[in-house]
Amino acid sequence: MGKSTTTMYNEAAEQEFNKLEQVLNQTAGDTASCLKVLKGNLSEYDSRHGLHFTNTSKSFLRSDIRAAKDSASELKHVANQIRKSKEPSESEIMAARNKMNATSDAMTLLKKTARAYDEKNGKSTGITGMIDNVLINKDGKEKEKESEGSWFSKNKSGNQGGVLGTSDTVEAVVKSTLRDSFAGFTVLKHQITTAEKALTPSLADRAKEAVLGVADKLKGDSKTSPTHGRP
């Protein structure tokens, strides 16, 4: 006799939740690694600009980096909950989604804080900085649209470095680090959705189970009826 729809559905849900646990741990690890690279890149930026003790970009972003790292740790906590859970549940889906959003917000905040640092210090110095300041009124709106767009904003001008390449700002350091060292949350978001769908049987499956349930009930009622078996 074949497996019931409910049994197959439970097995599918368990498989998808196992995958979710793995992706949560992977995303947490990737986030922590990216933040480590970012701290190194900020230290390099500070050294390049002669900032060794006061007003460093690394110290300015320290609390936000810590907050992002803590949020990433929460992803591992949810993964641990899933591993210890006796069976998949909607609460774990909600926890995974909430922690993913919180970590995403924390990573996005890094870019905003970096921009605040640049504004506090009059943007970048040197040729690139002067060009940016001259053109700020011309393409300010375009830059703002870019910064609020995708996770990994690209340099639309096509410049790949050099004196006239990427702006020498802390915001540029943060953006390039996230682009080069962090895969984002696309895979995790997809797996959360997949696990959620596996947890909820389709309408067709529900209808089939309901019909079978009614049929079994009617069969049982007919056997216990007082008139059952009369000539």
pLDDT per 10-residue tile (average), the chain, 231 residues:
56 94 98 98 95 93 98 98 93 97 98 96 58 48 44 46 60 97 97 93 57 62 57 54
**Beta strands of the chain (E only): which ranges?**
none
pLDDT at 35: 99
Flag whether the pTM goes above 0.85. no
pLDDT at 208: 64
Tokens of 132: 């940016």
pLDDT at 224: 59
Q: Which residue has the tokens 């682009």?
A: 179
Tell the burial category of 120 from Cβ atoms under 10 Å away from its Cβ (0-12, 13-18, 19+): exposed
pLDDT at 65: 99
CA 156 to chain centre: 25
